[in-house]
Amino acid sequence: MTVAKYFDEMSYGPAPEADTEAREWLARHTSGFGHFINGAFVASASARSFDTFEPATGKVLAKLATGGAEDVDNAVAAARKAQVSWARLPGHARARHLYALARMIQRHARLIAVVEAIDNGKPIRETRDLDVPLAARHFYHHAGWAQIQDTEFADHVPVGVVGQIIPWNFPFLMLAWKVAPALALGNAVVLKPAEFTSLTALLFAELASAAGLPPGVLNIVTGDGETGALLVGHEDIDKIAFTGSTEVGRVIRERTAGSGKSLTLELGGKSPFIVFDDADIDGAVEGVVDAIWFNQGQVCCAGSRLLVHEGIADIFHERLKRRMQTLRVGQPLDKCIDMGAIIAPVQLTRIEALVNKGVSEGATLHQAKIDMPKGGSFYPPTLLSGVQPTSIVATEEIFGPVAVSMTFRTPEEAIQLANHTRYGLAASLWSETIGLALNVAAKLAAGVVWVNATNLFDAAVGFGGKRESGFGREGGREGCYEYLKPKAWIGRKARPATPAPSPVKPAAGDFTLSTIDRTAKLFIGGKQARPDGNYSRVIASPKGKAIGEVGEGNRKDIRNAVVAARAATAWSNATAHNRAQILYYIAENLSGRADEFAARITAMTGASAASAKAEIDAAISRLFTYAAWADKYEGVVHQPPLRGVALAMPEAIGVVGVICPPEAPLLGLVSLVAPLIATGNRVVVVPSEPYPLSATDFYSILETSDLPAGVVNIVTGSAIELAKTLAAHNDVDAVWAFGSTELSAMVEKLSSGNLKRTFVDNGKATDWMDRAAAEGALYLRRAVDVKNIWIPYGE
């Protein structure tokens, strides 16, 4: 094309970014890279390797080592050794290292951006303007947390050695999201990049080494899912942080169950993009471009489900199609393109298959009729409209440049459609009416909500999902806690074996009628309910004297309790003041009957009168603590370096199953239930199995304290059996389980179905009288999910 012709047509010509330096860097590694272990590149002990390809051309880019068991062992050993001295460094020293890494990224920004574009296939415009600057920002931000760690996280220590597994869609940015907080807070890392895109991680290793990062603090082992699995299964790793598909997340959850490893999962999504009839339509159309065509739609939080108000659907779709026609798909290094290549042929085939399926299910297909590059893996911007909410393209993550669209008539219907998904990562909503936008934002089941915007990220603002989009947050203060553990829990000892129930001695007179009369039922939906199986169990004193009976709950009782808890939504929407007041009432009513409750503990456990009284006093005080926190455990407003602010709002998780520890029959229950209900959750509680009578006595306290029906449900019986039903229940959002190691492992494993949040003690006993270990923010943090709502603010 001649210059005159360009002037004639006013179309864009190619504006390629030079790749000389990137190709030279690759040329220096033609014999392969090896792994980065203990500060140096080493050949793979597995002696296996694989090729990595350039998505835009299909050509081989480099040879990478396949990490085997020995490589992973070496990397973990190097990390273990380095972590000790790294954590001992003053925060300021670590801050300087993080700062040096940030500066290094900035100094080599263009090289990283070009390598990333070549390796991943995404446009240079994105790697240059987003991936790399945001990665640098993460290192700056976390340099700051390292600097103030000793004051801001004084009651925590680093987790230790962290295994990090990242996907291919944002290779460098995901590395930064994982590595920056881990290192800043004193951990050492073994990172496995995605097999499609390992190059910028290896380049980063070179840069980190040149920046003087101590050997062993950062290790990189390349390889595929098998290498990832070796890392996950390694017994000397303290934590796994994973970003990738929900399927693999689920496997990792099961694999780490019972290992004591801490886990965060950032998984898939099918995020709604809601356009109301009062939206700025052109703004929203541009939003769709950023939501689903950014990074070829290979974005976990892509706004892939368009929900459009019926009244504007025609005009919106018309303008969207017009805009699609102006998108440019081309070579990643062309500075004028909007979309580059799909990561790999296998992914392209998957996208094509899903789109065909959508069409066969009745969706209308629209693809921009634009020039497509030849060769490589490219897919055009695509819109499937008239999609049924239940169809596969509306429910499955396509992970490609494919928007599916549906219409709605009312805001309520929009919310219903938006939340009609097993995921809960992000949501974008468009309306010029602040009341409507913020009302809807509060009701969306998503970890991140963007108002009149989409795909905004910042190191200071937590990112992460609900439901099957995983758990844990990256970024900001919440993200820091994922790499720390509480000092108060260090040195906890294995819980002594639960005393076997004393055999009831059938001496005459033990089974008096008055005892039997007080047989406790279950407590479900605010009412005492007979157990479904109509069985009871006798509770005996340490000396084998029958002191009461409780119902033997079964899976049906748990299911009824979950239904009751699910229905008690008003509690989650109640004001914090209201919840606080009720917690104070519970405390006051317990206080009025303190002697009776203390006597019951003594009768069940044989505890001295003084220690039983101390337990009751601590329970009353703990209820006051959470009443106090109810209206003080609040959100914050982040001020990211982008337009607007982000409201970080702690939200109740929902319905939580609670398996109380065997010891401390009343205090254990109060310590777990009070933080949950203070923050608006509804609970199904399985009380101490050997000593359940404090819980059944507690019904009358709850009944007289104005606690709405269904907020606390209590099912007595076998802890392990009832926990099994709770952990596998798809309408339970979290399970807190305190008891045996077997209980922890089982709960974690069965939780993988709907990826519920778990909080378990791995059989370690908590001293419930110790306020530092047993109350406060440690528990409140686990009782909520933080939702980050980005809203326009100022200019």
Q: Is position 334 an interface residue for ligand NAI (rule: CB under 6 A)? A: no
Nearer Cβ to ligand NAI (201/652): 201
State the minimum distance, in angstroms, from the CB of residue 345 to ligand NAI: 13
Nearer Cβ to ligand NAI (251/563): 251
| Secondary structure class of 115 (helix, strand, coil) | helix
State the minimum distance, in angstroms, from the CB of residue 96 to ligand NAI: 30
Nearer Cβ to ligand NAI (246/605): 246
The residue behind tokens 């360009």 is 6
Q: Is position 194 an interface residue for ligand NAI (rule: CB under 6 A)? A: yes
Pick the closest to residue 579 from 637, 620, 617, 623 (CA basis).
Answer: 623
Chain centroid, CA 138 distance in Å: 19
State the minimum distance, in angstroms, from the CB of residue 182 to ligand NAI: 17
Nearer Cβ to ligand NAI (302/712): 302
For residue 468, what is the DSSP state? Answer: G
Closest chain position to ligand NAI (CB): 228
Instruction: Characterize the bridge pairing of strands 682-686 and 712-714.
Output: parallel
Pick the closest to residue 187 from 484, 463, 481 (CA basis).
Answer: 484
* Count of CB atoms situated within 10 Å of the CB of 211: 18
State the minimum distance, in angstroms, from the CB of residue 146 to ligand NAI: 27
Nearer Cβ to ligand NAI (248/737): 248
Tell me which stretch binds ligand NAI (CB under 6 A): 94-102, 163-171, 566-574, 659-667: 163-171
Distance CA 287, CA 452 (A): 8
Q: Which of 116, 397, 474, 478 binds ligand NAI (CB under 6 A)?
A: 397
Chain centroid, CA 723 distance in Å: 22
State the minimum distance, in angstroms, from the CB of residue 298 to ligand NAI: 7
Tokens read off for 757: 């949040």
Tell me which stretch binds ligand NAI (CB under 6 A): 10-18, 227-235, 381-389, 495-503: 227-235
Tell me which stretch binds ligand NAI (CB under 6 A): 202-210, 244-252, 310-318, 375-383: 244-252
| Secondary structure class of 33 (helix, strand, coil) | coil
Nearer Cβ to ligand NAI (48/771): 48
Nearer Cβ to ligand NAI (228/479): 228
Q: Which of 53, 168, 633, 768 binds ligand NAI (CB under 6 A)?
A: 168
Distance CA 739, CA 498 (A): 9
Q: Is position 300 an interface residue for ligand NAI (rule: CB under 6 A)? A: yes
Nearer Cβ to ligand NAI (224/510): 224
Q: Assess whether 266 carries a catalytic annotation.
A: yes
Q: Facing residues of 787 across strands?
A: 649
Q: Which of 251, 370, 438, 599 binds ligand NAI (CB under 6 A)?
A: 251
Encode burial over 426-436: b for 16+ CB neighbours within 10 A, e otherwise. bbbbbbeeeeb
Q: Which of 144, 244, 287, 650 binds ligand NAI (CB under 6 A)?
A: 244
Those residues whose C-beta lies under 8 Å from the C-beta of residue 300, and which sit 6 or more positions away, are: 167, 169, 243, 266, 267, 268, 269, 397, 425, 469
State the minimum distance, in angstroms, from the CB of residue 93 to ligand NAI: 31
* Count of CB atoms situated within 10 Å of the CB of 698: 26
Query: In 257-344, where does DSSP find H-type helix?
Result: 281-288, 313-325
Number of residues lying near ligand NAI (CB under 6 A): 26
Tell me which stretch binds ligand NAI (CB under 6 A): 23-31, 166-174, 312-320, 711-719: 166-174
| Residues 448 and 463 sit within 8 Å (Cβ to Cβ) | yes
Question: Residues 340-369: x/- map of binding to ligand NAI (CB under 6 A)?
Answer: -------x--x-------------------
Distance CA 555, CA 686 (A): 12
Question: Residues 737-776: x/- map of binding to ligand NAI (CB under 6 A)?
Answer: ----------------------------------------
Distance CA 679, CA 222 (A): 42
Those residues whose C-beta lies under 8 Å from the C-beta of residue 36, and which sit 6 or more positions away, are: 42, 202, 205, 209, 218, 219, 220, 221
Q: Is position 48 an interface residue for ligand NAI (rule: CB under 6 A)? A: no
Query: Residue length, the chain?
Result: 795
Q: Which of 169, 187, 296, 696 binds ligand NAI (CB under 6 A)?
A: 169
SS3 content of the chain, % helix, strand, coil (to 5): 45, 20, 35
Which one of the listed residues 17, 116, 266, 651 is annotated catalytic? Answer: 266
Nearer Cβ to ligand NAI (479/548): 479
State the minimum distance, in angstroms, from the CB of residue 233 to ligand NAI: 8
The residue behind tokens 């869609």 is 169
Tell me which stretch binds ligand NAI (CB under 6 A): 93-101, 132-140, 167-175, 275-283: 167-175
Q: Is position 399 an interface residue for ligand NAI (rule: CB under 6 A)? A: yes
Q: Which of 91, 268, 424, 531 binds ligand NAI (CB under 6 A)?
A: 268
Nearer Cβ to ligand NAI (245/498): 245
Tokens read off for 742: 């077997």
Q: Is position 225 an interface residue for ligand NAI (rule: CB under 6 A)? A: yes
Q: Which of 22, 26, 62, 165 binds ligand NAI (CB under 6 A)?
A: 165
User: How far lies 399's CA from each of 172, 292, 499, in Å?
Assistant: 19, 9, 52
Chain centroid, CA 8 distance in Å: 52
Nearer Cβ to ligand NAI (186/464): 464
State the minimum distance, in angstroms, from the CB of residue 97 to ligand NAI: 26
> How many alpha carbons fall within 13 Å on the CB side of residue 360?
7
Q: Taking the chain, what is the end-to-end CA distance rounded to the nearest angstrom?
A: 42
Distance CA 152, CA 185 (A): 11
| Residues 115 and 25 sit within 8 Å (Cβ to Cβ) | yes
Q: Is position 232 an interface residue for ligand NAI (rule: CB under 6 A)? A: yes
Pick the closest to residue 766 from 510, 495, 427 (CA basis).
Answer: 495
State the minimum distance, in angstroms, from the CB of residue 118 to ligand NAI: 18
Distance CA 534, CA 280 (A): 61
Residues 407-426 that bind ligand NAI (CB under 6 A): none
Distance CA 108, CA 213 (A): 16
To which H or E segment does residue 264 belong?
A: strand 262-266
Q: Is position 392 an interface residue for ligand NAI (rule: CB under 6 A)? A: no
Q: Which of 55, 91, 144, 228 binds ligand NAI (CB under 6 A)?
A: 228
| Residues 386 and 364 sit within 8 Å (Cβ to Cβ) | yes
State the minimum distance, in angstroms, from the CB of residue 319 to ligand NAI: 29
Nearer Cβ to ligand NAI (75/252): 252
Residues 495-534 that bind ligand NAI (CB under 6 A): none
Q: Is position 267 an interface residue for ligand NAI (rule: CB under 6 A)? A: yes
Those residues whose C-beta lies under 8 Å from the C-beta of residue 607, and which sit 6 or more positions away, are: 601, 615
State the minimum distance, in angstroms, from the CB of residue 229 to ligand NAI: 4
List interacting residues with ligand NAI (CB under 6 A).
165-169, 192, 194-195, 224-225, 228-229, 232, 243-245, 248, 251-252, 267-268, 300, 347, 350, 397, 399
Q: Known catalytic residues? A: 266
